[in-house]
């Protein structure tokens, strides 16, 4: 029996998939949802439609439509068609560069705010773009792709966690209250952070490495790059980041 059988009674006999049994599935009745992220403001709305996914919304008119649909009791065929169009334009592939940046930002700073998540995503891009003297020593700095930078040995400790491998699986394992009230917002923030640093490179700090408490700036000073005068210590003043460094050569 569908545990949410009475939640969407106004739809139809196919209410468990929002009247779209061909496009949508709901194998266990959990009420999985689409998370919409406003690429201009970072705002987040989720709609129970039977699919765990993130959708970026770039146009103001589309965002207004999603806002209205999130509180609508019933939808007509025209609204359903437009809804599907918005999803097709902005659905995030979790295995794309943007998807992997989203996942690492979420995994590294699950409970920290969007600024910390931006640093995690940015550090990956900066390592891929790095062409300095330390590339031959560090696989993450010699990486030619986002995936190589993230999965290089020792690059990101969270890469083997469920938070990175399957963020929705992680959220669903924590229970509905945390998932819907906190977890989805955190994942949406990670998506926005990744989108922002990928599309607005001038906003980047240049960070290659960051540390989280209890490790502090003294630990960064043990890096060979710092000892040789090739690392600048950055004062980011971001909660959850105790130290950060930018390679200069």
Note whether residue 6 is domain-resident: no
Q: What is the pLDDT of residue 19?
A: 53
Note whether residue 10 is domain-resident: no
Q: For the chain, how many structural domains are there in total?
A: 2
- Residues of the chain predicted below pLDDT 50: 1-16, 22-30
**Domain extent at residue 49:** 15-90
Note whether residue 222 is domain-resident: no
50 and 153 assigned to the same domain: no
Note whether residue 2 is domain-resident: no
Q: What is the pLDDT of residue 190?
A: 98
Note whether residue 226 is domain-resident: no
166 and 83 assigned to the same domain: no
42 and 116 assigned to the same domain: no
154 and 182 assigned to the same domain: yes
Q: What is the pLDDT of residue 20?
A: 52
Q: What is the pLDDT of residue 235?
A: 92
Q: What is the pLDDT of residue 21?
A: 52
Note whether residue 227 is domain-resident: no
Domain boundary among 68, 90, 112: 90
Q: What is the pLDDT of residue 27?
A: 45
Note whether residue 31 is domain-resident: yes
Q: What is the pLDDT of residue 182?
A: 87
66 and 49 assigned to the same domain: yes
Distance CA 176, CA 185 (A): 13
pTM: 0.86
Note whether residue 165 is domain-resident: yes
Q: What is the pLDDT of residue 22?
A: 45
129 and 179 assigned to the same domain: yes
Domain boundary among 90, 110, 125: 90
Domain boundary among 67, 90, 113: 90
């Amino acid at each position: 029996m569908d545990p949410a059988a009475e939640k969407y009674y106004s739809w139809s006999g196919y209410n468990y998939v929002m009247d779209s049994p061909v496009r949508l599935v709901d194998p266990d009745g959990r009420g999985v949802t689409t998370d919409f992220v406003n690429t201009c403001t970072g705002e987040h709305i989720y709609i129970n439609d039977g699919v765990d996914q993130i959708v970026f919304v770039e146009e103001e008119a589309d965002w207004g439509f999603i806002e209205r649909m999130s509180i609508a009791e019933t939808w007509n065929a025209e609204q359903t068609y437009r809804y599907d169009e918005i999803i097709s334009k902005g659905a995030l592939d979790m295995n794309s560069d943007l998807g992997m940046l989203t996942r690492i930002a979420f995994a590294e700073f699950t409970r920290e705010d969007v600024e910390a998540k931006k640093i995690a995503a940015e550090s990956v891009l900066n390592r891929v773009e790095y062409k300095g003297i330390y590339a031959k020593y560090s696989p993450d700095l010699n990486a030619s792709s986002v995936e190589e930078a993230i999965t290089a040995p020792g690059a990101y400790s969270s890469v083997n966690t469920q938070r990175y491998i399957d963020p929705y699986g992680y959220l669903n394992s924590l229970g509905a209250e945390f998932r819907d009230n906190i977890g989805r917002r955190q994942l949406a923030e990670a998506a926005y952070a990744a989108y922002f640093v990928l599309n607005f490179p001038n906003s980047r700090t240049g960070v290659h490495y960051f540390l989280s408490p209890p490790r502090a700036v003294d630990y960064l000073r043990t890096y060979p790059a710092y000892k040789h005068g090739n690392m600048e210590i950055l004062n980011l003043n971001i909660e959850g980041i105790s130290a950060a460094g930018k390679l200069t050569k």
